[in-house]
Structure 1
Amino acid sequence: MAGSDACSIYVFDAYGTLFDVHAAVRRYSDRLGPNAAHLSEIWRSKQLEYSWVRALTGRYVDFWTLTERALDFAYERIPDADRSMRQALLDTYHEADAFEDVRPVLEELKARDAQLAILSNGTRKMLDAAVAKNGLGDLFDHILSADDVKTYKTQSSVYDLAMTAFRCFPEAISFQSSNRWDVAGATAYGFRTVWINRTADLDEYRDLSPVAQFKDLKGLLTL
């Protein structure tokens, strides 16, 4: 079993935390028109909503399929957006851009002998593509996908994947996410949690508080 040092194992959510979920639309915003940002927001919100409903009903569909369906719904809500860009958006999302702070922070954590993992709703194919595109493969000990258990966060079986991979108790893991609902779920599960609040959102789950909140990953280096 691993030791109880909460700062020796860092597990990261992927989308919104390591990878920019709005980068694809931003890249093609001129082609998509004046409502491009709104399209991106709908795409992301529906992607998450679809995952929650699937987890609650036990009717699993993989995350890439939900991503495609969410984009199609966003196009229905924003009919003036250029539909010819659909495949380009999906291709760009599949190899999502990492935020600028990701690699330097991960490198510093590795230099401190930390173990690192991704724990994401994304399929393994999605995660492998994003990690490879951003040259991060040398930094992770594990890439863990909810697809392996055919459900989504905040189901405990997804968080179990990290415990199984590292053979440790929940309190030995520092779990980082930009999604406040994910932080709440991981806190309830027993992880030591850190909210990477990149968009300065309000705290909706004050009874399930993280141990720290930072505007980006750099804050992890101060703990």
Structure 2
Amino acid sequence: MTITTCVFDAYGTLFDVAAAARIAAAEPGRDALAGAWPQIARDWRLKQLQYTWLRAVADAHADFWDVTADGLDYALEAAGLDGDASLRQRLLDLYWELPAYPEVPQMLAALKASGRRVAILSNGSPGMLDGAVKSAGVGAHLDAVLSVESVGVFKPHRKVYELVGEQFGTEPEEVLFVSSNGWDAAGAAGFGFRTVWVNRAGEPVDRLPWRPHAQLPDLTTIPDLAEVGL
């Protein structure tokens, strides 16, 4: 079936989640962060994701901003920097201003020019997503920004993927879903979407009941895949 709609995860897929720690580390007076920021960025992201999974299975949903702050607190403590309140606040502030990956604006513009609908489907809360979209300057290329807050559970629960059909009236096989998270791309494949895992780090495929239909090192060729289908 023809791909009519392209849907993207936000954090780590369109927006560079490591940028907050990287930018802060380059600022004057951040010597303690300079050598620790890569590990802090990794721990922050990992705990942010793990906490969404645990909350989903425990039926203990929370705003993604709270989960993001909890993940940062873990990462800072692991690095021995949990006593620096100004650093914590700076990192949280920067998370509202994450840049898009370099190829994102042109890729989204090409999809829109092809006549396809383009959307974000994210764990992020509406306020966070609005800030990220505005900061990255990609709002003109999007038809919708969908948040899990409307269903009260994090990915990969199928209720989240159902939001796409409710928004656009699509059948799952019309949708190309793109995520930097292998488990997200796998979950979406199990739902019935055609899926791409943007595997920037060259990681192994997760051992799950479903697998992404394709892997890419970045988002550059997504318009080509949408054209030929998967």
Same fold (TM over 0.5): yes
Are 1:160 and 2:156 an aligned pair? Answer: no
Q: Which amino acid aligns with 1:147?
A: E
- Whether the 8 Å CA contact 2:196–2:213 is kept in 1: the answer is yes
- Structure 2, unmatched stretches of 5+, are 226-230
Q: Does 1:13 align with 2:9?
A: yes
2:228 maps to: none
Aligned to 2:75: 74
Cα separation, 2, equivalents of 1:82 and 1:187: 42
- Match status 1:187 vs 2:183: no
Letter in 1 for 2:217: K
Q: Which of 83, 99, 112 matches 1:97?
A: 99
Instruction: Tell me if structure 1 keeps the 8 A contact 2:189–2:213.
Output: no
Distance 1:61 1:81 in 2: 22
Specify which of 122, 125, 146 is matched with residue 123 of structure 1.
Answer: 125
CA drift of 1:137 comes to 1.0
Match of 1:27 among 23, 29, 37: 23
The answer (yes or no) to whether the contact 1:13–1:118 under 8 Å persists in 2 is: yes
Hey, what does 1:46 align to over in structure 2?
Answer: 47
Q: CA deviation at 1:36?
A: 1.4
Instruction: Tell me if structure 1 keeps the 8 A contact 2:73–2:82.
Output: no
Specify whether residues 206 and 57 from structure 1 end up closer, same or farther in structure 2 by C-alpha distance, changes over 3 A only: closer
CA distance in 2, matches of 1:67, 1:206: 25
2:204 partner letter: L
Task: Write the letter of the residue equivalent to 1:211.
Answer: H
Counterparts of 2:154 and 2:55 in 1: how far apart (Å)? Answer: 8
**SS in structure 1 at match of 2:133:** helix
Amino acid across the alignment from 1:220: I
1:146 matched to 2:158? The reply is no
- CA–CA distance in structure 2, aligned partners of residues 54 and 24 of structure 1: 24
Q: State how far apart, in whole Å, the 2-side matches of 1:82 and 1:182 are.
A: 34
Query: C-alpha distance in 1, partners of 2:10/2:96?
Result: 12
SS in 2 for 1:58: coil
Instruction: Give me the whole-angstrom Cα distance separating, in 2, the residues matched to 1:26 and 1:170.
Output: 37
Secondary structure of 2:101's aligned partner:
coil
Extract unaligned runs of 5+ from structure 1: none
Provide the C-alpha distance between the structure 2 equivalents of 1:143 and 1:21, rounded to a whole number of angstroms.
18
**CA apart distance, 1:33:** 3.4
Q: Does 2:64 correspond to 1:63?
A: yes
- The equivalent of 1:205 in structure 2 is 207
Count of paired positions: 219
Which residue identity lines up with residue 198 of structure 1 in the other structure?
Answer: R
Contact 1:33 1:80 in 2 (8 A): no
Provide the C-alpha distance between the structure 1 equivalents of 2:108 and 2:129, rounded to a whole number of angstroms.
16
Please state how far the C-alpha of 1:210 moved relative to its aligned partner: 2.0
Helix, strand or coil for the counterpart of 1:92? helix
For normalisation by structure 2, the TM-score amounts to 0.91
Identity score, percent: 43
Q: 2:112 aligns with which of 105, 110, 113?
A: 110
Would the aligned equivalents of 1:170 and 1:190 in 2 still touch at CA under 8 Å? yes
Alpha-carbon RMSD across the aligned residues, in angstroms, is 1.4
